Amino acid sequence: MGALLLMASLSACGQEYLQSTINPVTDYGEATHRLYVQVFWWTMLILAVVWALLAFILIRFREKPGQGRPKPVHGHMGLEIAWTLLPALIVVAIVIPTIQAVFQIQRPPEGDVLVVEVTGKRYWWSFHFPELGVTTANELHLPVGRPVSLRLESGDVIHSFWVPQIGGKRDVNPVVMVPEGREPKRNWMHFTIKEEGVFWGQCAEFCGEAHSLMGIRVVAQSEEEFQAWVDDWKTPAPTAAGPQVEESGGPGTPTSVSGSTSAGGGSPAQQDSPAGMAPPEDPLVARGRDVFFRESYCVLCHAIEGTPAAGIIGPNLTRFGGRTTLAAGMLPNTEENLIAWITDPRGVKPGAQMPGAQYTVTYEGQTFPPLNLNDEQIRALAAYLSSMR
Amino acid sequence: MAHAAAIARDDHHYTSTGLSSWKVGFWTFIGSECLFFATLISTYMVYKGRSIVGPYPEEILDIPLTSISTFVLLMSSLAMVLALDGVQRGSRRLTLVWLGAVIVLGAAFLGFQVYEFNHFVHQGLTIGTNVFGSSFFVLTGFHGAHVAAGIIWMVTLWILGARNRLPATASLKVEIAGLYWHFVDVVWIVIFTLVYLIQ
Amino acid sequence: MSEATTAAKANSSVHEDAVGLWSWITTVDHKRIGIMYFLTSFFFLFVGGFEALLIRIQLMRPENAFISAETYNQMFTMHGTTMVFLVAMPMAVAFFNYLVPLQIGARDVAFPRLNALSYWIFLFGGLYLNSSFLFGAAPNTSWVGYANLTSLQFTPGRNVEFWIIGLSILGVSSILGGVNFITTIINLRAPGMKLMRMPLFSWMTLVTSFLLITALPVIAVALIILGFDRFFGANFFEVTAGGDPILWQHLFWLFGHPEVYILILPAFGIISDVIPTFSKKPLFGYPVVVYAGILIGFIGWGVWSHHMFTVGLGPIADSFFVASTMIIAIPTGIKIFNWLATMWGGALRFPTPMLFAVGLVAVFTVGGLSGVMHASAPVDLQQHDSYFVVAHFHYVLVGGALMGLFSGVYFWFPKVTGRMMNETIGKWHFWTTLIGFNLTFFPMHFSGLFGMPRRTWTYLAELNLETWNQLSTVGAFIFGAASLLLMWNLFYSWRKGEKASANPWGAATLEWSLPSPPRHYNFPALPTVRSREPLWDDTERQEVEAVTHAEPAEEPHMPSPSFWPVVLAFGVALTWILLMTHTWWMPLLGLALVAVAVFGWAFQPAYR
């Protein structure tokens, strides 16, 4: 057992555990971690005492040859009281800070709180910032140093939002309808992030086939970078809507929503040029845009800010190209992976609810026809989506 | 040794408490049934006032009518007590009269329940209408099923009595049936109070 | 054998050594029923174990696809459901059945035919549940089956139906068994066998039986209302109608927490008889151990929402359950200290039953302490639904309950079969179990600590969870092999084991005053008992053995075999199973069979 523990701690040191529960980066996470350390040492103490006693007994009181019957001892009130009272004291020592922490972490924060409405659906996460008017999916950008409150709600079954370095998980429950005059109940999670970084998490309440692949990325940025991300989101990417969708615009036609001065850059070719001249566009991207808006029914489920696409069934795809992963944290966001995903979502992620290029999906009673896209269309589509960073 | 031998002869019937095992066992079973109904009743209480659409309890529950059916069920418990008394006295006549009364009154209660369920369905309340419908029908439905099972039990005893197979020595059978019947009645009192009277 | 007894045997309508399948199907003898429970649950142990190995192979590598996600979800659901309902519970019942009458000085349980009924319902329920595999529709929503995942909308198909119906059938078996054992223990103790003189195992049987009759009805209702949602369109968990999925969690855990005490108390009872035997000292603090068990039973009703700390019940509810859960740790600790004190100053011997008993004390403590960690709600917010919890409950259920049951197997095998189990194989079994078990589950504390959720088909490579998972997989195979050793030992010893005397261990309680195996009527006459350790006092032992070793003048009249239990069991199962036709009236056909069987039974005299 000791050797095992040693091995474990040694190997632990060399590794980076992206979903470690003992490396918190928020006040919320730190509060529970402090409590964990306390409880851990109490339990180790008790374990040591019990095992030490057991080891001693097993050696000392082994039957010796010729030993007669030992003296029968039926009990001892003093001992019973002692080993009732002592554990009771330890219990009190643990319960008091525990209850304090219970109340502390559930208290809503004060001040300039950033609220995010989190909706968990099989098998992805929607994040909506009501005060900012921003909606994104699976990758949650947050500012460091500002109190954040996540409002949790499920669009179908019970999920659980768990980003271990942020802190403990909280269930994401479907909202129960209540009669008029009453408030429906939702769960909240409150924290302030203390350091920048990308923190990994995933759904932690079994929700069906792809439960294990419903990942989360929290991108904690400085206040400036976060603001820049928000601004980017609100400003459509240069290739998002392109020429008017009704016209078959070619390269060079001024975009209807140009003027992108975003720091979330694209290729140099997409930088604004002076005098309102639209930059030359990759023809594959333009082709992909056509596919998206006219050759399949993507807009039924997906939204891209600044374009006619306003579907809310599936993830919001604004600035999709800038995300680090696709399929809810499952794969790096490369064009190759994107092509594989659109072609056969269930081949990539069993249980995925997105219809495939050539097959239907029945999503909770509704049947969605195939996207009806061939390889060429899908390649273009991937280029289009990746172009919006 | 003689003591042991005495026990050997009679240990067929030896019990540590002096009570019949049937009685002890049946009380234990009643205990589990208490938990069963307590859970169903709690579920009803949890959903009280939480229906989104009607019909709502206050619109549809008929207290005067249900008071009558409750009274009928209560009277059937009285008849049960008298039936047991009849058996214990060894009176075939009294046994059959009062067991018969239990059956008739119990059946009448069930009749009221059937009427009520039917009426509710016609008024638009089914098990799928709202949470009131779901919890009401399941709770009172299971209670009614228990009454029905009890009636079958009583009919069986009545037939036994008619064939002269319920002498005073067999009173335990009737006592245990009585226990069951009274339990089902008590459950109804609780249901009537919490579902109908306190809204 | 004297002429008188030969004549008595001929007159007896019960055949002592009746052989043949029919004699087993119609048996009402608690000893035979106990053996049937044991063999059936032992079989299911390997079914559940096989499911576990498939899980472990799948998790050996990140992003593995050894089995599909859907199959995997069925595997962990059935692994949990099987181990809880088809192994741990019935194996304990096997012990209740065989031993309680012998320990309290009774000829059989209070209701022998009801006892048989419980077994057959269990068998049919277990077979039915596993038949779901034949349809590719094994239950797949985990052993806790949370609403609203289990609703028709989100898990269409037959999987959840099999689960609802299977568990409902099994629940009937448990409730009836509970009634039987409570009545037996309250009412059929031999003269002088006061409650506070009963062997601890019988005491824990009594507490467990009370938990069974009170907790099972709660899950019965939960399953019923879920069934009404699925089969008849009710709204119990339909959020658009105001139904609340969290109600399921409350009802399930109101059952579920007493359930875990149902799983552990029998094992505690077993080692409370084993440890004194091999310490040659009476149980230290007997009344305290009894009261601690009763207290655990009671308080166990007040802790259920410690399974729901992440649900959002609010700080006041959370705090209450923190307190109640921490409090329940105290009587559990008291038991452990009393076992230690029993061994203290004793003359310890370590045949296999004692190895497992001591193993339980060492290993259960680890699991109990990780439980204390979970009891601190904020800490639990990280640990809940992670592999840390998986580590916790396997430590208490395998390291606790299963090792306790194994201790009981080795301890009472001589009494049941008249032969000793092989000590060498036994020791190999113990040590490989200890090593395999710890190698499987200790690393899970780490995979949980490093963020691996439970009920996950796979995990991403970047999470660095592979090594921990591989250790667990290797351990699982070692543990599996160890269990095969047990199977071998059982079979080998039954055939070729050394013949056992009445009391090969020098134990103290009544069952050891009977021959190994006992005669079918157990006691020729009921002995009178004067103490907790009747066989450790020379005078008392002689008095007891004078009664228990005597040949009766007339063979005691025992309850006759009956086929009504198996017929009624079939009717009960059929009634539920016919719900799968999605009509309200087909189950009534099942009820008709039930009625026929009930009448047949009621009018068949118990003694013929």
The answer to whether A339 touches A113, Cβ cutoff 8 Å, is no
> Which of the pair, A389 or B8, is modelled with greater confidence?
A389
Smallest CA–CA distance, residue C411 to chain A, in Å, is: 19
Which is catalytic among the residues C32, C281, C306, C429?
C306
Picking from A141, A130, A325, the residue whose alpha carbon sits closest to that of residue A226 is A141
Q: How many residues does chain A have?
A: 389
Is the model's pLDDT at C155 over the cut of 50?
A: yes
Picking from C264, C266, C269, C275, the residue whose alpha carbon sits closest to that of residue C199 is C269
For range A24-46, the mean pLDDT: 97
Chain C residues touching A22 at Cβ < 8 A:
449
Picking from C410, C282, C407, the residue whose alpha carbon sits closest to that of residue C347 is C282
| For testing contact with chain C, the best of B1, B10, B11, B187 (most C CBs within 10 A) | B11
Task: Identify any residues that bridge with A126 across adjacent strands, giving them in sequence order.
Answer: A119, A137
Measured CA to CA, the distance from residue C101 to residue C122 in angstroms comes to 21
- Residues C291, C292, C296, CA angle at the centre, nearest 5°? 115
Q: C187 and B21: CB-CB below 8 Å?
A: yes
The helix-helix angle for C403-417 and C245-279 (nearest 10°) equals 50
Chain C residues touching B3 at Cβ < 8 A:
528
DSSP string, B152-165: HHHHHHHHHHHTT-
pLDDT of residue A8: 52
C156: domain range? Answer: 25-561
**CB burial of residue C137 (10 Å; 0-12, 13-18, 19+):** middle
pLDDT of residue A279: 60
β A159-162/A197-203 pair status: antiparallel
- Give the count of beta carbons closer than 10 Å to the beta carbon of residue B126: 17
User: Is C108 annotated in the active site?
Assistant: yes
Q: What are phi and psi of C344, to 5 degrees?
A: -65, 125
Chain A residues touching B48 at Cβ < 8 A:
none
Q: What are phi and psi of A359, to 5 degrees?
A: -135, 160
Which is catalytic among the residues C107, C197, C307, C419?
C307
Q: What are phi and psi of C471, to 5 degrees?
A: -55, -45
- Residues C402, C103, C423, CA angle at the centre, nearest 5°? 45
- Residues C537, C540, C546, CA angle at the centre, nearest 5°? 130
Q: A178 and B51: CB-CB below 8 Å?
A: no
Measured CA to CA, the distance from residue A211 to residue C455 in angstroms comes to 8
Preceding amide of A123 cis, omega within 30: yes
Q: Which residue of B lies nearest to C183 if distances are taken between CA atoms?
A: B25
User: Is C454 annotated in the active site?
Assistant: yes
pLDDT of residue A9: 56
Report the number of distinct structural domains present in chain C.
Answer: 1
Count how many Cα atoms sit within 13 Å of the Cα of residue A156 in the half-sphere of its side chain.
24
Is the model's pLDDT at C560 over the cut of 70?
A: yes
- Range of lowest pLDDT (A19-23, C111-115, C562-566, C581-585): C581-585
For range C378-390, the mean pLDDT: 98
For range C306-332, the mean pLDDT: 98
Residue C15 lies in a domain: no
Q: What is the CATH number of the domain that holds C496?
A: 1.20.210.10
Number of cross-chain residue pairs from A and C with Cβ atoms under 8 Å apart: 290
β A197-203/A215-221 pair status: antiparallel
Is the model's pLDDT at C140 over the cut of 70?
A: yes
Residue B6 lies in a domain: no
At A97-153, the pLDDT tens digits run 999 999 999 999 999 999 999 999 999 999 999 999 999 999 999 999 999 999 999
Q: What is the CATH number of the domain that holds B192?
A: 1.20.120.80
| For testing contact with chain C, the best of B34, B40, B47, B134 (most C CBs within 10 A) | B134
Residue B15 lies in a domain: no
Residue C605 lies in a domain: no
The answer to whether C339 touches C407, Cβ cutoff 8 Å, is no
pLDDT of residue C240: 96
DSSP string, A127-178: EEETTTTEEEESEEEEETTSEEEEEEEESSS-EEEE-TTT---EEEPBPPP-
pLDDT of residue C102: 98
Residue C154 lies in a domain: yes
Positions of chain B with pLDDT under 70: 1-12
Is the model's pLDDT at A323 over the cut of 50?
A: yes
Structure tokens at C278: 């091999």
Is the model's pLDDT at C505 over the cut of 90?
A: yes
Residue A295 contacts C where some CB pair is shorter than 8 Å: no
Tokens 């088909």 locate to C457
The answer to whether C235 touches C373, Cβ cutoff 8 Å, is no
Residue C597 lies in a domain: no
B33: domain range? Answer: 20-197
User: Is C30 annotated in the active site?
Assistant: no
Backbone torsion region of residue A337, taken as left when φ is above 0, otherwise alpha when ψ lies between -120 and 50, otherwise beta: alpha
pLDDT of residue C279: 98
User: Is C412 annotated in the active site?
Assistant: no
Picking from C364, C483, C362, the residue whose alpha carbon sits closest to that of residue C428 is C483
- Give the count of beta carbons closer than 10 Å to the beta carbon of residue A291: 24
Report the number of distinct structural domains present in chain B.
Answer: 1
Spell out the residues 6+ positions from residue A201 whose beta carbon is closer than 8 angstroms to its own.
A19, A161, A162, A163, A164, A165, A166, A215, A216, A217, A218, C451
Residue B9 lies in a domain: no
Percent of chain A's residues with pLDDT above 70? 86
Buried b (16+ CB within 10 A) or exposed e, C267-298: bbbbbbbbbbbbbbbbbbbbebbbebbbbbbb
- Give the count of beta carbons closer than 10 Å to the beta carbon of residue A283: 12
Residue C20 lies in a domain: no
Q: What are phi and psi of A121, to 5 degrees?
A: -135, 160
Chain A residues touching B47 at Cβ < 8 A:
none
| For testing contact with chain B, the best of C109, C113, C187 (most B CBs within 10 A) | C187
Q: H or E stretch including C230? A: helix C200-232
Smallest CA–CA distance, residue C44 to chain B, in Å, is: 28
Smallest CA–CA distance, residue A180 to chain B, in Å, is: 8
Spell out the residues 6+ positions from residue C148 whose beta carbon is closer than 8 angstroms to its own.
A156, A157, A158, A174, C154, C237, C238, C239, C245
Which is catalytic among the residues C161, C259, C273, C318?
C259
Give C66's DSSP letter: S
Q: What are phi and psi of B35, to 5 degrees?
A: -65, -40
Continuous H helices in C1-84: 3-11, 21-25, 30-58, 69-81
- Residues C488, C493, C494, CA angle at the centre, nearest 5°? 105
Measured CA to CA, the distance from residue C181 to residue C188 in angstroms comes to 10
Structure tokens at C331: 């009587």
Smallest CA–CA distance, residue A361 to chain B, in Å, is: 28
Measured CA to CA, the distance from residue C380 to residue C353 in angstroms comes to 35
SS3 A325: strand
User: Is C520 annotated in the active site?
Assistant: no
For range A352-367, the mean pLDDT: 81
Which is catalytic among the residues C61, C158, C280, C454?
C454
Q: Model confidence at C18, in pLDDT bands (50, 70, 90)?
A: confident
In A, residues 148-207, which contact B (CB 8 Å cutoff)?
177-179
pLDDT of residue A35: 97
Smallest CA–CA distance, residue A181 to chain B, in Å, is: 11
Buried b (16+ CB within 10 A) or exposed e, A297-316: bbbebbbbbbbebebeebbb
Spell out the residues 6+ positions from residue B181 whose beta carbon is closer than 8 angstroms to its own.
B76, B77, B80, B102, B106, B150, B154
β A114-121/A147-154 pair status: parallel
